[in-house]
Structures are given as C-alpha cells and as structure tokens.
C-alpha cells in the first residue's frame, strides 16, 4: 500500500499591516510578528509530518514589500524545507500578483512557482502525482480561468491549484470566478484553492478545499487559522485534517448582561468571559467584546464608554499579559418603560453633565446676568438675592435634573442622595 501526505496552505499575507491594533502600543507586539510566526509553524509541521510536498495557493505576500526583509524571511523558511528535501509549489494571487510585487529574490531550488501566463502541469513521477496551476499577473481577474485547466492525467493523482472566489463568498472580492461544475469538469482528485480566508470543504465530486488564511489579520478574521494536511493512500484521499497554526488569535465574544444590576457583577462577568476566551485560544488574543441584553447599567455603559473599555483592558491584564481588548461595543438596552431602573441610568448621564465645572460656571453666569437685568419683583424667583450665585446655580441644575427625569416617567433621588 503506497501512501504519502501533503500540506495545502494559502493566504499567508506575510507582514500584513495591523488593522485596529496599530495604536495599541507594546501590548499589540505579539500580533506584529504573527504572520511570520505562523509561517514558521507551517514549515515546522511540514518537516515533522515528513510531507511529500507543500502547496501555497496564492497571496504569500500582502502586497509589494516595504523592504527586502519580507522576501528574505520567506526565502529563509523555504530554505528550511529545501534542507528537509520538501518541494514547494506556489501560485500568485491577487495580493501578490506579478504586477503588484515589484521586488524579487532568488528562491531556493525546491520552490516551483507556476506561470502567470498559462496553466502549467508538473509531474512528480515517484509519487504518480500531477499538479496543474496558474498564477496571476494582475490584481483584478474577472475571467473564468478554471476553464483553461487541462483534463486529469490518467493514472495519476491530479491536483489543481487556483486562487479564486469560486461562486462568491461574503467579505471577499470577486476574483477568477468559477463554479464547482467548472472545477469538476477537469476530473482532478483535489483542488487546492486560495483567496477565501475561512476554511471550507466545498461539496462536490472532487475534493475542493479552501484551507483559510494562515493567520488572522483583523477582528473579522476570528477563530483558529492554519492549513490542511492531506493523506493519500493508493491514489485516493484517505484523510483531511485542519491544522491550527496561527501564532495569535482574534475572537469576538457576545456577552449577555441581562439582569446585571451592579458594576461588580459586570466586572465579574467580563472577567469570566475574557478568561474563557484566553483559555480556548491558548495563544495571544485580541478580543472584541459586545455587551448586550437588558440591564439597568445601560446608562452607565453609554455615558462612560471610554472608561468601561479601559476597565475591560485592566481586567484582561489580570487574565494574561498577552490579552488585548481590541474593541468594546455597547449594544445593551435599558429596561422597558423608563421605570425606576431606566431613570437610574439616565440620571447618571445628567449627573455627569451637571458635575462639569464649566457647565456650572455657564449656568451661574447666565443667572447672574438675569439677576442684573430682572425687575425687583422678579428677583424672588431667583431666591435670596444675598445667596451665593454658585449655590443658586447648583440648586437650579438639580431642579432641572428632577424635571427631566420626571418627564421621562422615572423616579429621581433627592439632590445629594448617593446614587444606587
């Protein structure tokens, strides 16, 4: 019984710029190098699994190199595979199309990059494998390139390499579109696709696989990322295994605050969510938290969004020094009907405004101006004319708070009474 394994990866996007983390300082450091560490992981597993070859189905680079360091890093990793006698087959995608990447370096001799002009077929005679592939010269390809692929080589295990959006996937540009039927027409055993960043085994007569990208690049690319390990026995696919190889992880957690009434309970709920997400990721984590549900804390969360986000980051530091709160979103609602609980939330907003020294000074100035112009009979409306105008302003603001809350149907606390 003859058997071999190969690795299928795509969309490495080496040195892709951070999105949403660039201004987060040292805490985002694990993500700066994540695409490189993920490629190191890919090469290490190829060597440890003793694969027959590695396929990279496009977008090795995120675009033109800022400098040669990006290309040199890729060359060094391919050199590791060369020393392990592992061939590598690559195609260019939309991000590393020939017209996009202007710099180049000599690649180790174990790396074969398919033509960007026409489909090429390469045979590995000792394995009785034929690979068919074509890269791209331009960033935008609207043609159905799949129709150009030749029929399968009889008696061989046939693999097609293609960077394509297939019939279209949310969040991805249309690129070299084609149908499953177009791919199946060639009669290949396996289609090694790239471009779609979510892993997917596409239903069909042929085995059609998007391995997903090797490393998440922003908050919409959540969950485990990696490559696909394929086992072939007697010319047939005997196994597909999704390998997790990302060096850092993006996740999005929806946190239900329904019924939460105290800030201490809020902090504990956030702490538990962060801890669970970090344990599940088992690597540096950039976490987006969306708070939702009906809670009396809605007003506090709305009025103090910045503080709440910083509180969450401080709690994350307790869980681990490699946990970053990428963003905190408040999608909570206050209890229906503006009853007492809603009034509590809105009262906090009013109290925060009233506590601003500039706001109090403005009110005091306006009252002083009115007092200076008002007739004597009207002065009694402003209270004792010997009273400090600042104290009058504070009393006027408190009365205004009561009036607003009463208009909303809420029940306000007396001025000076501690907030619940």
pLDDT at 174: 79
The label of the residue with tokens 């969950």 reads 223
Token couple for 9:
């990866």
User: pLDDT band at residue 187, thresholds of 50, 70 and 90?
Assistant: very high
pLDDT at 339: 46
- Total residues belonging to the chain: 420
pLDDT at 362: 73
Q: What is the pLDDT averaged over residues 237-247?
A: 97
**Which of 60, 63, 17, 57 lies closest to 39 in space, CA to CA?**
60
How far apart are alpha carbons 85 and 245 in whole angstroms? 22
- pLDDT tens profile 110-160: 999 999 999 999 999 999 999 999 998 887 888 899 999 999 999 999 999
pLDDT reading at 280 higher than 70: yes
User: What is the value of pTM for the model shown?
Assistant: 0.77
- pLDDT tens profile 286-340: 999 999 999 999 988 988 999 999 999 999 999 998 999 999 999 999 886 444 4
Q: Which residue has the higher pLDDT, 98 or 121?
A: 121
Token couple for 387:
């009273």
pLDDT at 279: 96
pLDDT reading at 402 higher than 60: no
pLDDT reading at 219 higher than 80: yes
Sheet strands side by side (includes 323-333): 249-256, 285-294, 323-333
User: Domains in the chain and their CATH numbers?
Assistant: 3-244 (3.60.21.10), 249-334 (no CATH), 340-407 (no CATH)
Q: Tell me the pLDDT of the chain averaged across its residues.
A: 85
The label of the residue with tokens 């490495």 reads 12
Query: β-strand 226-233 against 236-244: which pairing, if any?
Result: antiparallel
Asked which of 84-88, 213-217, 264-268, 355-359 is least confident by mean pLDDT, the reply is 355-359
Token couple for 47:
């060597």
How far apart are alpha carbons 16 and 26 in whole angstroms? 18
Asked which of 7-16, 179-188, 382-391 is least confident by mean pLDDT, the reply is 382-391
pLDDT at 378: 55
How far apart are alpha carbons 352 and 173 in whole angstroms? 46
pLDDT at 44: 98
pLDDT at 288: 96
Alpha helices in 132-184 (DSSP H): 180-184
pLDDT reading at 177 higher than 70: yes
pLDDT at 386: 45
pLDDT at 418: 29
Q: What is the pLDDT averaged over residues 30-35?
A: 88
Cβ burial 365-403 (10 Å sphere, 16+ → b, else e) = eebeeebeeeeeeeeeebeeeeeebeebbbebbbeebbe
Q: Which residue has the higher pLDDT, 83 or 387?
A: 83
pLDDT reading at 370 higher than 80: no
- pLDDT tens profile 350-368: 566 666 666 667 776 776 7
pLDDT reading at 103 higher than 90: no
Q: Which residue has the higher pLDDT, 4 or 103?
A: 4
pLDDT at 412: 35
């Amino acid at each position: 019984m003859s058997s071999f394994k190969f690795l299928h990866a795509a969309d490495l996007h080496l040195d892709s710029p951070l999105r949403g983390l660039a201004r987060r300082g040292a805490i985002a450091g694990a993500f700066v190098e994540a695409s490189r560490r993920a490629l190191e992981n890919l090469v290490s597993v190829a060597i440890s699994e003793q694969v027959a070859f590695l396929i990279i189905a496009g977008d090795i680079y995120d675009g033109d190199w800022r400098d040669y360091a990006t290309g040199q890093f890729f060359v060094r990793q391919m050199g590791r595979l060369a020393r392990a006698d592992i061939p590598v087959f690559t195609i260019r995608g939309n991000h590393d199309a020939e017209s996009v990447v202007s710099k180049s370096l000599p690649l180790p001799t174990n790396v074969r990059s398919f033509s960007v002009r026409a489909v090429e077929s390469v045979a590995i005679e000792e394995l009785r494998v034929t690979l068919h592939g074509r890269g791209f010269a331009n960033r935008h390809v609207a043609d159905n390139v799949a129709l150009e692929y030749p029929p399968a080589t009889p008696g061989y295990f046939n693999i097609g390499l293609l960077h394509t959006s297939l019939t279209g996937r949310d969040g991805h540009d249309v690129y070299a579109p084609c149908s499953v039927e177009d791919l199946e027409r060639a009669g290949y055993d396996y289609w090694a696709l790239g471009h779609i960043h979510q892993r997917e085994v596409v239903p069909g007569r042929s085995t059609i696989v998007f391995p997903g990208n090797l490393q998440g690049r922003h908050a919409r690319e959540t969950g485990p990322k990696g490559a696909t390990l394929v086992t072939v026995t007697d010319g047939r696919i005997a196994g597909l295994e999704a390998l997790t190889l990302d060096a850092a992880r993006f996740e999005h957690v929806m946190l239900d605050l329904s019924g939460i009434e105290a800030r201490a309970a809020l902090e504990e709920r956030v702490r538990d969510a962060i801890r669970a997400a970090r344990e599940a990721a088992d690597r540096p984590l950039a976490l987006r938290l969306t708070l939702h549900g009906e809670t009396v804390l809605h007003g506090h969360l709305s009025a103090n969004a910045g503080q709440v986000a910083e509180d969450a980051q401080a709690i994350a530091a307790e869980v681990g020094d490699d946990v970053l709160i990428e963003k905190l979103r408040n999608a909570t609602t206050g209890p229906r009907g503006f009853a007492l609980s809603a009034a509590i939330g809105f009262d906090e907003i009013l109290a925060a405004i009233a506590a601003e020294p500039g706001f109090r000074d403005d009110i005091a100035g306006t009252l002083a101006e009115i007092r200076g112009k008002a007739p004597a009979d009207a002065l009694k409306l402003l209270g004792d004319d010997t009273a400090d105008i600042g104290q009058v302003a504070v009393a006027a603001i408190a009365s205004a708070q009561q009036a607003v809350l009463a208009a909303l149907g809420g029940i306000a606390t007396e001025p000076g009474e501690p907030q619940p």
